[in-house]
Amino acid sequence: MEEEYGRKWDRCLADSAVKIGTGLGVGVVLSVLFFKRRTWPVAFSAGMGLGMAYSNCQQDFRSPYLLHGRMVKDQ
């Protein structure tokens, strides 16, 4: 059980690293290609990547508490 926790954190960090890096990359590309080398796309997409990573991490940690409901159709 305790290992699972550590594992989750590892996944989270790896995931956030990947996403932020990817975001940064995409941001750089976009800023160079379309936005005249402004900084804001970089920050924007890095932020997007961070946000996605954050969300994923949160989802991962929350997963035990999530309730999956099913809609029962009246027959």
Partner 1 sequence: MLRVCLKGANAAARQCVCGKVAAHPLQHCRRYTSAGDSGVTAGKIVAASLLTVGGGLGGTIIYAKWDPKFRSNVEKTVPYSDKLFGMTLGPPPPAPVIPVPKKLAKVEPLQISSVSEATKESKQPKKEKKVKEAVPQEPAAAEEAPAPPPAPPSQTIEGECTECAHEPALKERPAEEVTALLAAKDKAEEDTLASLSSNLDETLGSSAKVTMAAIGAQEAALTAIAVHTQKLKEAMDAEGAPDKKSAQWRALEDALDGRSRAVDEAGAALLRARDELEKLREVINVAKGSNIDAARPQVLAAEENLHNMIVDLDKVVGKVQAAQSEAKIVSQYSDLVNEAKAQFQKELDSITPEIKASWKGLAGKLTTDDLNSLIAHAHRRIDQLNRELAEQRVREQIHIESALEQQKLEHQKALETAVVTALEHNREEMRLEQEKKVAEVREVMEAEMRTQLRRQAAAHTDHLRDVLKVQEQELRAEADETLKNKMNEQETHYRRLTQEQLDTFTLDMNAAYARLKGVEEAIDSHVIAEEEARKAHQLWLSVEALNYSLRTAGVDAPTEPLEAAAVVVRESCADNEFAQALASALPAESLSRGVYSEASLRARFQDVRRLARRVALIDETRNSLYQYFLSYVQAALLMEPQQEAPPQRLSPADLDTFKLLSYACYSMERGDLELAAKLLNQLTGEPRRVAQDWLNEARLTLETRQAISLLSAYANAVGLGTTQAP
Kindly state the smallest distance separating residue 27's Cβ from partner 1, in Å: 23
- Report helix angle 40-62 to 2-33, nearest 10: 160
Q: Is residue 20 within the footprint of partner 1 (CB under 8 A)?
A: no
- Which member of 36, 62, 68, 70 binds partner 1 (CB under 8 A)? 62
Answer whether 25's CB lies under 8 Å from 50's CB. Answer: no
Q: Cα angle at 18 between 13 and 21, to 5 degrees?
A: 120
The region of 20-28, 29-37, 39-47, 52-60 touching partner 1 under the rule CB under 8 A is: 52-60
The region of 17-25, 27-35, 40-48, 61-69 touching partner 1 under the rule CB under 8 A is: 61-69
Q: Is residue 44 within the footprint of partner 1 (CB under 8 A)?
A: no
Residue ranges in contact with partner 1 by CB under 8 A:
1-2, 5, 54, 57-58, 61-62, 64-65
